[in-house]
């Protein structure tokens, strides 16, 4: 990929290993709140993943807001599992948000890729995640030192794939779309969103199970060394 001067990354599922970190946090949560007495950890995790993915899909499509996810995520999980506990669902939500965001797990080869790219390009994060979680994630995982800016959707008023958030990111980085690339795991929010405003895009598809029509696709972040 030629003529690149600035690199933009998604955070969750692309650099910060959401699946690993959330699984560890949710496992602790199941035991702490006594949920293991009614369902297995694996069953709880499976239902949580299903509920969470659907809510985030609606969030990214601007059908619901942040408060809706935080208010209804765990009640939906408990209801589907027919689990009853002596705690308010808001306690589970507060525990999850505060503890998951300080986990340090990264996707494979993240540091290898970032060490290489940091020496060549100014870099920034563009994320739809919540502000109270994203900065702790960056700090706890050691990602802060690699990025000049962290653009968080709820702070700037737009979320991927809206073009405004990409235009804003380009402006704060003093970058041009034609010489910038966006790297992310979501075909719609990261890839199509970036390409619509003229950025090049690299689709990170570690499982190989998702589809995107973009020209550039990788299964390992290590591949960025050969592309950029």
- pLDDT, one tens digit per residue, over 51-88 is 999 999 998 888 998 889 999 999 999 999 999 998 88
Residue 219 has pLDDT above 90, yes or no: yes
Give the chain's domains with CATH numbers. Answer: 6-17+105-227 (3.40.50.1000), 18-100 (1.10.150.240)
**Strand locations in the chain, DSSP E?**
6-9, 123-127, 149-152, 180-184, 200-204, 216-218
Residue 48 has pLDDT above 90, yes or no: yes
Q: How far apart are CA 159 and CA 59, in angstroms?
A: 9
What's the pLDDT score for residue 50? 96
Q: How far apart are CA 17 and CA 108, in angstroms?
A: 9
Q: How much is the pTM?
A: 0.90
Q: How far apart are CA 157 and CA 132, in angstroms?
A: 15
**Residues whose CB is less than 8 angstroms from the CB of residue 141 and which lie 6 or more positions away in sequence, other chains included:** 15, 16, 103, 104, 105, 106
- The length of the chain in residues reads 228
What's the pLDDT score for residue 209? 83
What's the pLDDT score for residue 61? 86
pLDDT in tens, 187-217: 999 999 999 999 999 999 999 888 887 889 9
pLDDT in tens, 173-193: 999 999 999 999 999 999 999
CA distances from 7 to 3, 29, 41, 88, 164 (A): 11, 36, 38, 42, 17
pLDDT in tens, 98-134: 999 999 999 999 999 999 999 999 999 999 988 889 9
Containing 216, the helix (H) or strand (E) segment is strand 216-218
Residue 12 has pLDDT above 90, yes or no: yes
In whole angstroms, what separates CA 9 from the centre of its chain?
Answer: 10
């Amino acid at each position: 990929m030629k003529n690149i001067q600035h690199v933009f990354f998604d955070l969750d599922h692309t650099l910060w290993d959401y699946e690993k970190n959330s699984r560890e946090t949710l496992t602790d949560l199941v035991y702490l709140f006594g949920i293991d007495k009614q369902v297995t950890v694996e069953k709880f995790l499976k239902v949580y993943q299903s509920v969470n993915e659907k809510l985030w899909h609606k969030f990214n499509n601007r059908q619901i807001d942040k408060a809706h996810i935080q208010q209804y995520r765990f009640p939906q999980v408990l209801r589907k599992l027919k689990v009853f506990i002596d705690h308010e669902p808001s306690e589970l939500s507060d525990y999850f948000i505060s503890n998951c965001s300080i986990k340090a797990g990264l996707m494979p080869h993240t540091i290898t890729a970032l060490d290489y790219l940091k020496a060549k390009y100014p870099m920034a994060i563009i994320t739809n995640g919540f502000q109270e979680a994203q900065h702790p994630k960056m700090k706890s995982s050691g990602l802060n030192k690699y990025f000049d800016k962290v653009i968080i959707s709820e702070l700037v008023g737009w979320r991927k794939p809206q073009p405004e958030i990409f235009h804003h990111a380009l402006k704060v980085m003093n970058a041009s779309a034609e010489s910038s690339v966006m790297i992310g795991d979501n075909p719609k929010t990261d890839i199509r969103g970036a390409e619509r405003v003229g950025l090049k895009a690299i689709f990170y598809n570690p499982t190989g199970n998702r589809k995107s029509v973009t020209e550039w696709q990788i299964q390992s972040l290590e591949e960025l060394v050969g592309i950029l």
